[in-house]
Amino acid sequence: MDRLPLPLRAVVESLPAGVRGGDVGLERGHALVIGLVVALGLVVTVLLTGLGRPSVTPVVEPSSAVVTPGTPVPVSAVADELATPETEPGSVVVHVAGKVAEPGIVELPAGSRVVDAVAASGGADDGVDLSTLNLARVLVDGEQIAVGVDPLPASAPDVPDATASIVNLNTATAADLETLPGIGPTLAANIVTWRAENGRFTMIEELQEVSGIGPKKFAALADQVTV
Protein backbone atom coordinates (compact mmCIF):
# COMPACT_ATOMS: atom_id res chain seq x y z
CA MET A 1 0.00 0.00 0.00
CA ASP A 2 2.94 2.35 0.59
CA ARG A 3 3.64 2.34 -3.16
CA LEU A 4 0.16 3.59 -4.06
CA PRO A 5 -0.30 7.25 -4.93
CA LEU A 6 -1.57 9.36 -2.08
CA PRO A 7 -5.12 9.90 -3.49
CA LEU A 8 -5.59 6.14 -4.15
CA ARG A 9 -4.10 5.25 -0.79
CA ALA A 10 -6.62 7.58 0.90
CA VAL A 11 -9.48 5.80 -0.91
CA VAL A 12 -8.26 2.38 0.14
CA GLU A 13 -7.70 3.45 3.74
CA SER A 14 -11.28 4.79 3.89
CA LEU A 15 -12.60 1.23 3.33
CA PRO A 16 -13.52 -0.91 6.31
CA ALA A 17 -10.69 -2.95 7.77
CA GLY A 18 -12.38 -6.22 6.86
CA VAL A 19 -12.70 -5.17 3.26
CA ARG A 20 -9.07 -4.10 3.10
CA GLY A 21 -7.91 -7.37 4.53
CA GLY A 22 -10.30 -9.51 2.51
CA ASP A 23 -11.86 -11.11 5.62
CA VAL A 24 -15.41 -9.88 5.10
CA GLY A 25 -17.54 -11.28 2.35
CA LEU A 26 -19.22 -8.74 0.14
CA GLU A 27 -22.41 -8.87 -1.64
CA ARG A 28 -22.45 -8.16 -5.36
CA GLY A 29 -23.84 -4.64 -4.88
CA HIS A 30 -21.25 -3.77 -2.29
CA ALA A 31 -18.45 -5.03 -4.50
CA LEU A 32 -19.73 -2.89 -7.39
CA VAL A 33 -19.78 0.23 -5.24
CA ILE A 34 -16.29 -0.46 -3.99
CA GLY A 35 -15.08 -1.01 -7.54
CA LEU A 36 -16.52 2.32 -8.63
CA VAL A 37 -14.87 4.07 -5.72
CA VAL A 38 -11.54 2.51 -6.56
CA ALA A 39 -11.92 3.39 -10.26
CA LEU A 40 -12.79 6.98 -9.39
CA GLY A 41 -9.73 7.15 -7.19
CA LEU A 42 -7.59 5.92 -10.09
CA VAL A 43 -8.99 8.62 -12.41
CA VAL A 44 -8.37 11.31 -9.84
CA THR A 45 -4.86 9.99 -9.34
CA VAL A 46 -4.08 10.09 -13.03
CA LEU A 47 -5.43 13.62 -13.40
CA LEU A 48 -3.52 14.90 -10.41
CA THR A 49 -0.37 13.19 -11.55
CA GLY A 50 -0.64 14.72 -15.01
CA LEU A 51 -1.41 18.18 -13.70
CA GLY A 52 1.31 18.00 -11.16
CA ARG A 53 4.04 17.38 -13.69
CA PRO A 54 6.12 20.46 -14.39
CA SER A 55 5.65 21.87 -17.91
CA VAL A 56 8.69 22.25 -20.11
CA THR A 57 9.00 25.49 -22.00
CA PRO A 58 11.37 25.35 -25.00
CA VAL A 59 14.10 27.91 -24.98
CA VAL A 60 14.19 30.02 -28.13
CA GLU A 61 17.67 31.08 -29.09
CA PRO A 62 18.12 34.70 -30.14
CA SER A 63 18.00 35.23 -33.89
CA SER A 64 21.20 37.25 -34.04
CA ALA A 65 24.54 36.20 -32.73
CA VAL A 66 25.98 37.98 -29.71
CA VAL A 67 28.82 40.26 -30.70
CA THR A 68 31.58 40.29 -28.15
CA PRO A 69 33.58 43.46 -27.52
CA GLY A 70 36.30 43.93 -30.09
CA THR A 71 34.57 41.82 -32.74
CA PRO A 72 34.23 43.77 -36.03
CA VAL A 73 30.68 44.10 -37.28
CA PRO A 74 30.23 43.62 -41.07
CA VAL A 75 29.34 46.81 -42.88
CA SER A 76 26.53 45.02 -44.71
CA ALA A 77 24.89 44.18 -41.38
CA VAL A 78 24.96 47.84 -40.30
CA ALA A 79 23.55 48.89 -43.68
CA ASP A 80 20.70 46.44 -43.31
CA GLU A 81 19.84 47.85 -39.90
CA LEU A 82 19.92 51.44 -41.13
CA ALA A 83 18.23 50.78 -44.46
CA THR A 84 15.59 53.32 -45.34
CA PRO A 85 12.68 52.94 -47.73
CA GLU A 86 13.59 53.40 -51.36
CA THR A 87 13.45 57.05 -52.34
CA GLU A 88 11.18 58.29 -55.06
CA PRO A 89 12.71 58.66 -58.52
CA GLY A 90 14.13 62.04 -59.45
CA SER A 91 12.24 64.79 -61.20
CA VAL A 92 12.82 67.47 -63.82
CA VAL A 93 11.65 71.08 -63.75
CA VAL A 94 10.92 72.76 -67.09
CA HIS A 95 9.37 76.02 -68.29
CA VAL A 96 6.46 75.62 -70.70
CA ALA A 97 5.82 78.88 -72.56
CA GLY A 98 3.73 79.97 -75.48
CA LYS A 99 0.21 78.96 -76.46
CA VAL A 100 -0.82 76.59 -73.67
CA ALA A 101 -3.65 76.82 -71.16
CA GLU A 102 -1.38 77.40 -68.15
CA PRO A 103 2.14 78.48 -69.16
CA GLY A 104 4.74 78.37 -66.43
CA ILE A 105 6.98 76.07 -64.43
CA VAL A 106 6.04 72.39 -64.19
CA GLU A 107 7.73 69.54 -62.31
CA LEU A 108 7.58 66.06 -63.80
CA PRO A 109 9.16 62.67 -63.05
CA ALA A 110 12.55 62.05 -64.60
CA GLY A 111 12.22 60.44 -67.99
CA SER A 112 9.09 62.39 -68.92
CA ARG A 113 8.75 63.66 -72.47
CA VAL A 114 7.75 66.91 -74.15
CA VAL A 115 4.17 65.69 -74.60
CA ASP A 116 3.93 65.20 -70.82
CA ALA A 117 5.08 68.79 -70.19
CA VAL A 118 2.49 70.16 -72.62
CA ALA A 119 -0.23 68.10 -70.96
CA ALA A 120 0.88 69.26 -67.48
CA SER A 121 0.41 72.86 -68.65
CA GLY A 122 -3.21 72.25 -69.57
CA GLY A 123 -2.58 71.33 -73.19
CA ALA A 124 -2.01 73.48 -76.25
CA ASP A 125 -4.53 76.12 -77.32
CA ASP A 126 -7.00 75.27 -80.05
CA GLY A 127 -5.51 75.34 -83.50
CA VAL A 128 -1.89 75.30 -82.36
CA ASP A 129 0.38 73.29 -84.63
CA LEU A 130 2.51 70.95 -82.52
CA SER A 131 4.35 69.45 -85.47
CA THR A 132 7.26 71.82 -84.86
CA LEU A 133 7.88 70.12 -81.50
CA ASN A 134 9.39 66.70 -80.99
CA LEU A 135 6.76 65.49 -78.54
CA ALA A 136 8.63 62.21 -77.97
CA ARG A 137 11.85 63.88 -76.81
CA VAL A 138 12.94 63.21 -73.23
CA LEU A 139 12.90 66.35 -71.11
CA VAL A 140 16.07 67.95 -69.78
CA ASP A 141 15.99 69.65 -66.39
CA GLY A 142 15.88 73.45 -66.67
CA GLU A 143 14.91 73.67 -70.33
CA GLN A 144 12.20 75.83 -71.87
CA ILE A 145 9.53 74.49 -74.23
CA ALA A 146 7.94 77.05 -76.54
CA VAL A 147 4.54 75.87 -77.80
CA GLY A 148 3.10 77.46 -80.95
CA VAL A 149 5.78 80.16 -81.08
CA ASP A 150 7.76 80.64 -84.30
CA PRO A 151 11.52 80.57 -83.75
CA LEU A 152 13.25 83.91 -84.12
CA PRO A 153 15.03 84.32 -87.47
CA ALA A 154 18.75 83.99 -87.27
CA SER A 155 20.27 87.45 -87.33
CA ALA A 156 23.02 88.09 -89.82
CA PRO A 157 26.37 89.05 -88.31
CA ASP A 158 27.13 92.74 -88.26
CA VAL A 159 29.52 93.38 -91.13
CA PRO A 160 30.56 96.97 -91.62
CA ASP A 161 29.96 98.42 -95.06
CA ALA A 162 33.42 99.37 -96.18
CA THR A 163 32.12 101.70 -98.87
CA ALA A 164 29.92 103.69 -96.50
CA SER A 165 31.89 103.68 -93.26
CA ILE A 166 35.06 105.36 -94.55
CA VAL A 167 34.63 108.96 -95.72
CA ASN A 168 37.29 110.72 -97.74
CA LEU A 169 37.68 114.20 -96.29
CA ASN A 170 38.90 115.62 -99.61
CA THR A 171 36.12 114.32 -101.86
CA ALA A 172 33.13 114.03 -99.52
CA THR A 173 30.20 116.36 -99.89
CA ALA A 174 28.53 118.02 -96.94
CA ALA A 175 25.84 115.30 -97.06
CA ASP A 176 28.55 112.59 -96.97
CA LEU A 177 30.18 114.22 -93.98
CA GLU A 178 26.87 114.28 -92.09
CA THR A 179 26.85 110.45 -92.12
CA LEU A 180 29.78 110.50 -89.70
CA PRO A 181 28.93 110.16 -85.97
CA GLY A 182 28.51 113.51 -84.26
CA ILE A 183 28.73 115.52 -87.49
CA GLY A 184 25.72 117.70 -88.19
CA PRO A 185 25.11 120.34 -90.89
CA THR A 186 27.18 122.99 -89.09
CA LEU A 187 30.30 120.83 -88.64
CA ALA A 188 29.95 119.43 -92.14
CA ALA A 189 29.91 123.03 -93.51
CA ASN A 190 32.96 123.89 -91.37
CA ILE A 191 34.87 120.93 -92.81
CA VAL A 192 34.02 121.97 -96.38
CA THR A 193 35.07 125.57 -95.59
CA TRP A 194 38.43 124.47 -94.10
CA ARG A 195 39.09 122.33 -97.15
CA ALA A 196 38.31 125.23 -99.49
CA GLU A 197 40.60 127.59 -97.59
CA ASN A 198 43.51 125.15 -97.24
CA GLY A 199 43.28 123.30 -100.55
CA ARG A 200 42.95 119.77 -99.16
CA PHE A 201 43.57 117.59 -96.11
CA THR A 202 47.03 116.02 -96.12
CA MET A 203 46.41 113.98 -92.98
CA ILE A 204 43.32 113.13 -90.93
CA GLU A 205 44.82 114.81 -87.85
CA GLU A 206 44.23 118.18 -89.56
CA LEU A 207 40.52 117.58 -88.90
CA GLN A 208 41.18 118.91 -85.41
CA GLU A 209 41.89 122.33 -86.97
CA VAL A 210 38.25 122.57 -88.07
CA SER A 211 36.13 124.77 -85.81
CA GLY A 212 34.04 122.68 -83.44
CA ILE A 213 36.14 119.46 -83.67
CA GLY A 214 38.34 118.83 -80.66
CA PRO A 215 40.51 115.83 -79.63
CA LYS A 216 37.56 113.88 -78.19
CA LYS A 217 35.39 114.20 -81.31
CA PHE A 218 38.39 113.48 -83.54
CA ALA A 219 39.04 110.23 -81.64
CA ALA A 220 35.49 109.12 -82.48
CA LEU A 221 36.01 109.94 -86.18
CA ALA A 222 39.59 108.76 -86.70
CA ASP A 223 38.75 105.22 -87.86
CA GLN A 224 35.97 106.38 -90.21
CA VAL A 225 37.75 109.03 -92.28
CA THR A 226 40.62 109.02 -94.68
CA VAL A 227 42.44 111.45 -97.03
Q: pLDDT tens-digit profile of 66-75?
A: 555 555 555 4
Give residue-wise pLDDT tens across range 188-204: 899 999 888 888 888 88
Locate all alpha helices (DSSP H) within the chain, ordered by sequence: 6-13, 17-21, 28-52, 75-81, 114-120, 162-165, 174-177, 185-198, 215-221
pLDDT at 163: 47
pLDDT at 149: 78
Residue 218 pLDDT grade (very low, low, confident, very high; cuts 50, 70, 90) = confident
CB 34 within 8 A of CB 22: no
Give the lowest-confidence range in 82-86, 136-140, 188-192, 220-224. 82-86
**pLDDT of 85 higher than 50:** no
- Other beta carbons within 10 angstroms of residue 180's beta carbon come to 20
pTM: 0.32
Residue 29 pLDDT grade (very low, low, confident, very high; cuts 50, 70, 90) = low
Residue 55 pLDDT grade (very low, low, confident, very high; cuts 50, 70, 90) = low
- Does residue 65 or residue 176 have the better pLDDT? 176
Give residue-wise pLDDT tens across range 133-176: 999 999 999 999 999 876 545 444 454 444 457 889 888 898 88
Give residue-wise pLDDT tens across range 93-132: 999 998 999 999 999 999 999 999 999 999 999 989 898 8
State the average pLDDT for the chain: 74
Rg (alpha carbons) of the chain, rounded to whole number: 58
pLDDT at 72: 56
Q: Where are the domains of the chain?
A: 6-52, 91-147, 164-226
CATH of the domain spanning 164-226, picked from 1.10.1200.10, 3.90.650.10, 3.30.420.40, 1.10.150.320? 1.10.150.320
Q: What percent of the chain has pLDDT over 70?
A: 55
pLDDT at 78: 45
**pLDDT of 182 higher than 80:** yes
Closest-CA residue to 113 (of 136, 142, 146): 136
Gap between the Cα atoms of 194 and 212, Å rounded: 12
Q: What percent of the chain has pLDDT over 90?
A: 25
pLDDT at 56: 56
| Residue 128 neighbours by CB under 8 Å, 6+ apart | 99, 147, 148
